[in-house]
Amino acid sequence: MLLKVLFRFAENHCIKKLFEIAKVEHSKDEIDVMNKTVLEKIVEGLRVIATESRRFIVKFDSTNNKLQLSFVNDSVETICNMPIMLYINGDMKFFAQTLGRDGMSTS
C-alpha cells in the first residue's frame, strides 16, 4: 500500500513523493490477511486525515532540530499549514466501494 504526496504549486510545478505505508506478503490475496494485520491502523489514519484535520502541516521540532509532518495543530512551530485533498484508488478504492463506505458509490 502506497501513499503518494503531490505538492502542486500555482506555476504548474509539481513535486511527487511515494511512501510505502504497509506491505503484507502472503501466498493468498485475501482481505482477511489485511484485516488481521495493518488495515485497522491505516483506516484510522485516513479517517484522521480526511475528517478531523484536512490540513497538511509541516512543523519544526527544536528539541531534535528536525522537520515533522503532522495532520494535527498543536503548539509546535508551524512552517507550512495548507488544506489537503485525499483520494483513494486501486485496491483500497475497490475495497471501500464493496463495503459501501461514505463517498464511495459503486455506480
Tell me: the pLDDT tens digits for 15-32?
A: 888 888 777 777 766 667
Sole residue written with cell 485497522:
40
Q: Quick one: pLDDT band at residue 75, thresholds 50, 70, 90? A: low
Average pLDDT (96-103) is: 66
Query: What's the pTM value of the predicted model, to 2 decimals?
Result: 0.51
Question: CA 41 to CA 24: how far, in whole Å?
Answer: 14
pLDDT above 90 covers what percent of the chain? 0
Q: How high is the pLDDT of residue 102?
A: 65
Question: CA 6 to CA 2: how far, in whole Å?
Answer: 13
